[in-house]
Homo-oligomer: A and B are copies of this chain.
């Protein structure tokens, strides 16, 4: 079963919006065993959309489109699909009732433009968009399917989970897949390593890769100082067989492995702390709240994450984090002495089991010969004492703070 995604919207092609929908959809499709072959981003332009539809239908069983379903003039997807499938628009009374109910307290939304949202192509099956006014449309194209969803990420996700995926799964038995062997399972297993260059890792794994059977594939995904190693099986291998290969991969990389899954490090930290009923706080300077934001990102984080003192300005370090001005003067604000003080102070103040403190030069300005942009000190305070490390994390502001967060989490994982 092979799918393609077409994302529709000028905003994608002038860089005003990053397409986060496709990655989310890709992950879900892979999870339910549907191979995603291609993602195509096109303009809000009828001819362009139709060309992309022709091409996608020449390769895939299912085509997903996102975007272009708003009530405004620049959104044309519904009209183009209507034309493409040779249909015409009709009023859908169920959609109308839903929209009138959705906005019953918002007379300013229930206007004549919103009313165009309950016009739908006569040939389409309409699924319920619980959270918005754009109808979810499914079109049959011979044995192939097209599902059209809004581009707003929250709406798309709910549509996909609650309506589109269940619908597609109910159809799979009848459709004739043109992709890879439908009997074969897609299986992905990922682990994470750090402290070894990608090329050295590939040399370490050369024999392993050369002995892999047909249909098994190893991918290297380096990011922010961590390499994710993904073992993918598109063949006839059973789950147990893939697990055997994955076990061997773990054995070979054991000296560098920091996680046996591809989960973000903050999720792994959260799982361990929650299980042990332990807590964490941060004292951040250069990372400016990014680490706090990661630790509080996922549901359930209030079980282990207590809070942070973000001391972007030095006055906050001296007033709230007990860093004596003397120490800043002598050693500089980016120093082992300062981050250790910060980590200890926040641990005392917030009364948590663990803390992490960061201080560094994110750039573009503020660097010196001795401490160039990218220099970051990180300290970890634990029930067994406090220690710190110095890192050099590159030259670009975002890169420096992203990598600092990853280093902070890797260092924590080693210490808990």
A271 partner residues in chain B, CB cutoff 8 A: none
Within 8 Å by CB of A197, from B17, B109, B188, B319, lies B109
CA distance A221 to B28 in the complex (A): 26
Copy tally for this chain in the complex stands at: 2
Within 8 Å by CB of A199, from B10, B72, B219, lies B72
CB <8 Å contact, B296 and A307: no
CB <8 Å contact, B221 and A17: yes
A413 partner residues in chain B, CB cutoff 8 A: none
Of residues 12 through 46 on chain A, the ones whose CB sits less than 8 Å from some CB of chain B are 12-20, 22-30, 36-44
CB <8 Å contact, A293 and B301: no
A230 partner residues in chain B, CB cutoff 8 A: 11, 14, 16
A16 partner residues in chain B, CB cutoff 8 A: 23, 27, 190, 221, 228, 230, 262
Of residues 288 through 336 on chain A, the ones whose CB sits less than 8 Å from some CB of chain B are 288-293, 295-297, 299, 301-302, 305-313, 315-316, 319-320
Given contacts A38-B41, A199-B71, A288-B295, contact A15 B24 (CB under 8 A): yes
CB <8 Å contact, A23 and B27: no
Residue A270 interfacial (CB < 8 Å): no
Given contacts A37-B43, A38-B41, contact A288 B293 (CB under 8 A): yes
Of residues 217 through 237 on chain A, the ones whose CB sits less than 8 Å from some CB of chain B are 217-223, 228, 230, 232
Within 8 Å by CB of A290, from B209, B289, B306, lies B289
Residue A367 interfacial (CB < 8 Å): no
Which of A111-119, A140-148, A162-170, A383-391 lines the interface with chain B?
A: A111-119
A190 partner residues in chain B, CB cutoff 8 A: 16
CA distance A232 to B203 in the complex (A): 50
Within 8 Å by CB of A152, from B71, B222, B291, lies B222
Residue A174 interfacial (CB < 8 Å): no
Within 8 Å by CB of A26, from B13, B202, B203, lies B13
Chain B residue with minimal CB distance to A227?
B72
Residue A198 interfacial (CB < 8 Å): yes
Q: How many residues of A contact B (CB 8 A)?
A: 110
CB <8 Å contact, A219 and B18: no
A200 partner residues in chain B, CB cutoff 8 A: 108-109, 111, 113
Residue A363 interfacial (CB < 8 Å): yes
CB <8 Å contact, B310 and A292: yes
CB <8 Å contact, A316 and B306: yes
CB <8 Å contact, B71 and A198: yes
Residue A70 interfacial (CB < 8 Å): yes
Residue A371 interfacial (CB < 8 Å): no
Residue A84 interfacial (CB < 8 Å): no
CA distance A18 to B7 in the complex (A): 14
Within 8 Å by CB of A71, from B202, B289, B398, lies B202
CA distance A10 to B218 in the complex (A): 11
Known: A16-B221, A114-B197. 5 other contacts (CB 8 A): A74-B220, A109-B200, A111-B200, A301-B312, A320-B349
- A-B residue pairs in contact (CB < 8 Å), sample of 26: A13-B36, A13-B37, A14-B188, A15-B23, A15-B27, A16-B190, A16-B262, A19-B19, A22-B41, A38-B40, A38-B41, A38-B48, A39-B41, A72-B202, A106-B197, A108-B200, A288-B293, A289-B293, A289-B296, A292-B293, A302-B313, A305-B312, A308-B308, A308-B312, A315-B350, A319-B350
